[in-house]
Amino acid sequence: MTGARTRVVVADDDRTVRQALADLVSARPDLEVVGTAGDHPEAVRQAVRYRPDVLVLDDRMPGGSAADTLRAVRHRAPQVAVLVVSGYGDPTAALAAVAA
């Protein structure tokens, strides 16, 4: 393989889901998990510490909202792309995340 791998932080409060997402990412030779988080504050810390290419962020976790986390990451690590995932069909939360 040539070229750099895409660096990913996975943030989900459900340990099983977090591990499954990390395993899925790790299974790809072009992706690398560099950190994981179980709540919104830790997701921000991991994004700032590791400066991943992508933060996979669960919408509903303890310690804040996806919109607040997005704003914090954008402020402190603006180069990090964020993919928000959710198991809920909450259009208000989705619009808040998009707006952030």
pLDDT digit string, tens, across residues 39-48: 999 999 999 9
Region 14-23 average pLDDT? 97
Euclidean distance between CA atoms 55 and 57, whole angstroms: 6
- Sign of the Cα torsion 56, 13, 59, 90 reads positive
**Which residue type is seen at 35?**
G
Over residues 51-69, the pLDDT tens digits come to 999 999 999 999 999 999 9
Predicted structure pTM score:
0.88
Is 38 in contact with 64 (CB distance < 8 Å)?
A: no
Cα-Cα end-to-end distance for the chain: 36
Percent above pLDDT 90 for the chain: 77
